[in-house]
Amino acid sequence: MNRTEQSFPNTPGSLTWPVPVVFPGQVDEVSACLFEGGEALRRVPAAHLVERFLSARERETIPPEQPNPDRRFLWILARIAGKCAIMELLRKQGEAAQQLDLSEIEITSDKNGAPVAHIPAAAATRAAHLNVSLAHSGSMAAAAAAFSPIGIDVEPLARVPEFGWAKIAVESEMKLIEGAPHRISGLATPLLQLWTAKEAASKAARVGLADGGLVRWRLIAVGLNRGWLVEDQRTRLHYGVHSAAKGQWLLACASRHR
């Protein structure tokens, strides 16, 4: 990101800002970041984050604090992460990111709940083609931005899927991932990497897992540099997925395969 630390109003010192994530082998122009909601950040009053970083329209859609304050906190963090990813993407493209304030970037939702990014047309020549994806797990929020369909997912590296492999993969997929050269070997289980890959692909398709679940998505190829290729069994569209480990977290980033 342009800035690695950010001072919050009425808050002593500085807090860790979202950190960039690079996906090895990812050829598309993608900006991604990870934002941890640690104890220091949780001590910042939510009102400060909302007032400083969210637009008036976004404030109208914030989840209520009760009965799930953690969900509300992560909702806010994910949008801040998304805005940072967008700013970094614009910077890399040579667009006028330095003229934007994070509160001028809006992230709303479409009818399926998928995030939709809005930026002033003057800030980017391809503003209408901007895409953003958000994810959160535990205390972590993640985001990715691109000028093409994009999806991101994040899970703890140590997580063991609570459901059996039959809910995630068919036998042909298991054979592929067991011998995959582009596996985060020794850090994440093959099933966890496949699960996050399918989650990311479903987000890039802007349908999520609510329609068809994990079995709608089929791993059809693996490659050292090209990542994993996941197919939507309904549309037959293909999505390239690249994974990365950042600290104790596994991330997957998916984009349309051309």
> Which pLDDT tens digit goes with each residue over 139-198?
999 999 999 999 999 999 888 777 777 888 898 998 888 776 655 645 567 888 899 999
The CATH number given to 154-256 is: 3.90.470
Residues sharing a CB contact under 8 Å with residue 192, sequence separation 6 or more, in sequence order = 155, 157, 159, 160, 161, 250
Q: Coil, helix or strand for 115?
A: strand
Q: Does domain 5-147 have CATH number 3.60.40.10?
A: no
- Count of Cβ atoms closer than 10 Å to residue 70 Cβ: 12
Q: Is the pLDDT of residue 29 over 50?
A: yes
Tell which residue, 25, 86, 78, 89, has the closest CA to residue 49.
78
CA 48 to chain centre: 24
Q: pLDDT value at position 225?
A: 64
**Distance between CA atoms of residues 22 and 204, nearest Å:** 18
CA-based radius of gyration for the chain: 18
Question: What average pLDDT score do residues 86-91 get?
Answer: 90
Q: pLDDT value at position 147?
A: 93
**Distance between CA atoms of residues 225 and 25, nearest Å:** 5
> Which pLDDT tens digit goes with each residue over 53-74?
999 999 999 998 878 888 899 9
Which residues in 14-105 belong to E strands, given as ranges? 15-16, 19-20, 30-36
Tell me the whole-structure pTM to 2 decimals. Answer: 0.88
> Which pLDDT tens digit goes with each residue over 110-136?
988 899 999 887 777 788 889 999 999
C-alpha dist (Å) from residue 234 to 110, 160, 205, 212: 21, 28, 11, 9
Beta strand pairing call for 15-16 and 5-6: antiparallel
Task: Give 124: exposed, middle or buried? Use CB within 10 Å, 0-12, 13-18, 19+.
Answer: buried
| Domain edges within the chain | 5-147, 154-256
Task: Identify whether the C-beta of residue 127 lies closer than 8 Å to the C-beta of residue 234.
Answer: no
Question: What average pLDDT score do residues 236-251 get?
Answer: 93
What is the percent of the chain where pLDDT is above 90? Answer: 47
